[in-house]
Structure 1
Amino acid sequence: MGLPPPLRTGFSRLLAARLSLMHALNFLGVGFYLPFFPVWLASTGLGDVDIGYVLAIPILVRVFVASSVTGLGDRLRPNILLALLNGLAALIYFALAQQSQFLPIAILTALSAVALSGVVPLADVLTTEQVKAGALRDYGRVRLWGSVTFVLSNLAGGYLIAQHGAWLIPFVLAGSSSLAALAALQAPSPPGGVSPAVSQGASAAGFGLPFWLAVGAAACVNATHAAVYAFSSLHWRSIGFSGETVGWLWAVAVVAEIAVFLVGGSIAASGLVGLRWIAIAAIAAALRFGVMSVDPGLAVTVLLQLLHGITFGCMHLGTLAALSALSPGARRAAAQGRLVAVSALAMGLATILSGYLYRLFGPGVFLAMVPIAVLGLILAALAILKARGNTGFGGRI
């Protein structure tokens, strides 16, 4: 017998609040790490080349271990595994704070990357499983709190460094991971718990061609952001945009992402229709980065940054929906791990390529992202065709 509507609504809101807290604290550390971890590395005395090597380590680690680490969530309760991974990351960051030499910093960074490789995909598994079971209505309104805390930690990190120095960063990262571990413990387990077939060691079904086509499509669309992530700030400053303007351009993109999660979060529950959203994101990426390559001026650049809501937000939501529909029920965590690994590989290669192209062609590096977007569109179209032709997949596309 189901719960009365008022109780059902209250339960859903409590569930959303618990999962929102989990996402918010997971991204708290990310917001400190991305802008300020390189600053801490420089404060230890490492040179530019050594810093580059250290920053490349997490990308390589995700390629090789994300699938295995995240896949453990099919055998263990994902919320417990998530807490353990965040707790391990906190201990590693505390140890990292005591280091100033390249080798121990590199080793500890690699270990932290192993732990953190499963954090975001496991959080997505915990949330999408509740949506799939009907206990939660909207993934996007939960996930957007991760984007909100990312922005807030960007601002807080700048203030902390200005007031106290970069030495604080590893301690802040350790504290953030500790809070994320506690948030994971209070997060609800997936409905039904661990799959009996998996918990007893039985083999689960494999991943078919439509799944891998969808993963490839999403990885390509995600990789189109490599040039803008790595070189847009440098390029915008070189053409006369002020530091404040560059900051606002980044903020516009994040606000657009949050708006998509707020308004279009139900895309994550759309099943195979998610493949269409990956295709739409690929088209938007080709438009965004093609126009960006001709330096269209500030007003148009703002509009292009708003497209981040589609090129990342809709791509992310559509990918979650498609992979949930295309992966075996007992291997949802493994599916997310494979997506992270393939996306990391594509992003790493695109970032390396962008470095060479930016040196040779300047803003032409953004144009080079267009063929990657087109490849993503082709793979998404093939995934749609294969899924339509496979009677094993239900639902419309």
Structure 2
Amino acid sequence: MVPYWRLSAYYFFYFAFVGAFSPYFTLYLQSVSLSATDIAILMSLTQLMRVLAPNLWGWLAEKLGARVAIVRLSAIAALAGFAGFFLTTEFAGLFAAMALMAFFWSAALPLVEGLTFSHLGTAAHRYGSIRVWGSVGFIAAVLGLGYLLDHLPIDAVLWVTAAILAGILVCALVVPEAARAPEPRAAASMGETLRRPEVRALLGACFLMSAAHGALYVFYSIFLVEHGYDTSLVGWMWTLGVLAEIVVFMLMPRLVRYFRLRTILLFAFVCAVLRFAMIGWGADSLALLVLAQLLHGATFGAYHAAAIAVVNLWFPGRLQSRGQALYGSISFGAGGMLGGLLSGYTWETLGAAWTYTMGSVFALAGLVWLLAGWRVAADADEGRAG
């Protein structure tokens, strides 16, 4: 039996952390007089650790067969690392706290994704109905904290975020282990899988998609506040994007019956090209910003659901945890880090409009790579994944 609510609760709190941390922690860092470059460096540490940590933890989970134990350890250590933010506002201390928190926090999600697919088995199409609770958690955090910050000092971000991390720990303690899916007799090795051109095209395009989102995740809240929008509206704008994401997650079982996963991915990249240009050059038009946020349903919701489903197909059995970790490391890790660091530099030198235009260029490059590298011949091997 699928532990639906225990898995859903974990996703709820995990992405509630993202909803509190990503939009508002940059405002806290700005309030302690850090420069845009310092903020970008600190926030990019989360992406750097998503490059390093998931592969280490995925390999360890594969060797020890202890995915749940590692998920629980990561929750304890991430909360301990976050406690460092209460002790200092100096860059060096903040850097150390961020590095420790991010190293352990980033370990968990690829393992939980693998656990979820293991529990679902042949019902993998139900992934969206579980993952959607992560989006609900994000909305609850981003909207609730946005309103709180209209009445409380900015350091309330620390207390709310710490409480959410404690919620992650409680959920980690009740998530059950699952038997791994049976491995095909002729299963390819990790090296053989990575040599396939369509696999490299997917991972490369995912790297570029996350790079395209770099400025959004680091500077979007600052961007809106600097253009005269208050923090409650900032919360609503993030919420709007995630509401679109929820709708897409709920529709994914129906969408994959009519469209190939490759088609869904290509559509998501086209939407990303448009979205970031609209944000960069439409800051004074609330209607245009709203439309751009609605496209988050495609640029994250449809993109992530399709990408993770393909990874689950192409990295079966014992490769599952490592495949999910590799996807997270290359996309949200390396790609997010590149996009975040570059946006920190261009924000102060070229301005916001050209920084978001750079995101459109990244998405366009990902679209071209996916078109060129994902061979039509893959249809014969992967069915609807092609």
Asked if these proteins are the same fold (TM beyond 0.5), I'd say: yes
How big is the shift at 1:66? 2.8
In the alignment, is residue 81 of structure 1 matched against residue 58 of structure 2?
no
Report the equivalent of 2:291: 303
Query: How do 1:62-81 residues align onto structure 2 when only pairs under 5 Å count?
Result: 62-75=50-63, 76-81=65-70
In the alignment, is residue 360 of structure 1 matched against residue 350 of structure 2?
yes
Deviation per residue, 1:306-340 (Å, 9 max, x gap): 11101110000011111111224211111122122
Report the equivalent of 2:268: 281
Question: In structure 2, what residue type is equivalent to 1:255?
Answer: L
Partners of 2:364 and 2:337 in 1: CA distance: 18
Partners of 1:360 and 1:396 in 2: CA distance: 40
Q: Secondary structure in 2 aligned to 1:118?
A: helix
Report the equivalent of 2:369: 379
Deviation per residue, 1:77-125 (Å, 9 max, x gap): 3222211111121222335533454434322321111101122222222
Report the equivalent of 1:220: 208
Indicate if the aligned counterparts of 1:97 and 1:167 stay in contact, CA closer than 8 A: no
What is the TM-score when the length of structure 2 is the normalising length?
A: 0.82
Partners of 1:50 and 1:282 in 2: CA distance: 30
Report the equivalent of 2:46: 58
How big is the shift at 1:304? 2.4
Partners of 1:144 and 1:125 in 2: CA distance: 16
Q: Unaligned stretches of 5+ in structure 2?
A: none
Deviates more, 1:350-359 or 1:219-228: 350-359
What is the TM-score when the length of structure 1 is the normalising length?
A: 0.80
How big is the shift at 1:67? 1.9
Indicate if the aligned counterparts of 1:62 and 1:341 stay in contact, CA closer than 8 A: yes
Indicate if the aligned counterparts of 1:46 and 1:102 stay in contact, CA closer than 8 A: no
Indicate if the aligned counterparts of 1:217 and 1:278 stay in contact, CA closer than 8 A: no
Question: In structure 1, what residue type is equivalent to 2:62?
Answer: D
How big is the shift at 1:143? 0.9
Q: Whose radius of gyration is greater, 1 or 2?
A: 1
Query: How do 1:95-134 residues align onto structure 2 when only pairs under 5 Å count?
Result: 95-131=84-120, 133-134=121-122
Aligned residues: percent identity? 26
How big is the shift at 1:384? 2.9
Partners of 1:240 and 1:94 in 2: CA distance: 32
Indicate if the aligned counterparts of 1:96 and 1:108 stay in contact, CA closer than 8 A: yes
Aligned residue pair count: 375
Distance 1:102 1:224, change over 3 A: closer
Indicate if the aligned counterparts of 1:32 and 1:169 stay in contact, CA closer than 8 A: yes
Partners of 1:39 and 1:69 in 2: CA distance: 31
Distance 1:217 1:129, change over 3 A: farther
Indicate if the aligned counterparts of 1:27 and 1:146 stay in contact, CA closer than 8 A: yes
Deviates more, 1:28-37 or 1:371-380: 28-37
Q: Unaligned stretches of 5+ in structure 1?
A: 1-10, 198-202
Partners of 1:368 and 1:150 in 2: CA distance: 26
Partners of 1:173 and 1:16 in 2: CA distance: 25
